[in-house]
Amino acid sequence: RYINGHELDYGARLKADFSYIDNGQHKGSIVYGAEVNRFKLKELCYQYGYDYTETLPEDTRLREIGKGHEVSANTFLQLKHKWHSMILNAGLRYDYKRRSNETRLEEISPRIALILSRPKWNMKFSYSKSFVDAPYLYRTLNAFDEILTDEDATTDLTDDDPEFGLSPERVHSWQFSFAGTEWFKGFNFEL
């Protein structure tokens, strides 16, 4: 399978950080960021082949699938504070996406970590939620495969139809780790 596309991407990003305390016992900073992107797939050509020499005729239903655009934006706020040997790292992220069929995705993803850092060892406890949407082209390829295997598919199907669309993925992660550094020469570990 050979697929070739022509796309147009543009966006803007802003990031700022502010150190609110820095003395012998405390060190803290806040980071803010925002980003907006627009993606447009202008054309998509494909060719299916087999036995390295034979090709299949182009399916006319696929010529327009994939053309379209989507907009995504995100913003985040992160706090990092260290006092003595304890570190707190906490953040919040908001994602927004408008797919090509006007479906809107909105997600809030929190994260927090507590770290106890000592000269020869450290302990970490963290929770995070993350969100990722399938890339535009993957959703389009999924629609291609579904149409090619479905003889009854109609011509008005798009990459975002529920029958063909790939859903966003969400991951909740809890982690506890204990690590030792140079307990004896060359011996480091993490559990």
* 88-103 pLDDT per residue, tens: 999 999 999 998 888 8
Q: Return the pLDDT at 131.
A: 86
The answer to whether 131 and 68 have CB atoms below 8 angstroms apart is no
Q: Please tell me the predicted confidence (pLDDT) of residue 160.
A: 45
Take residue 162 and report the two structure tokens written for it. 């529920």
pLDDT, tens digit, for every residue of 20-61?
999 988 999 999 999 999 999 887 777 778 888 888 776 666
Strands 104-117, 121-132: pairing is antiparallel
For 120-165, how does the pLDDT look when each residue is reduced to its tens digit (9 = 90+)? 999 999 999 998 888 887 777 766 666 666 655 554 444 445 435 6
d(CA 178, CA 76): 28
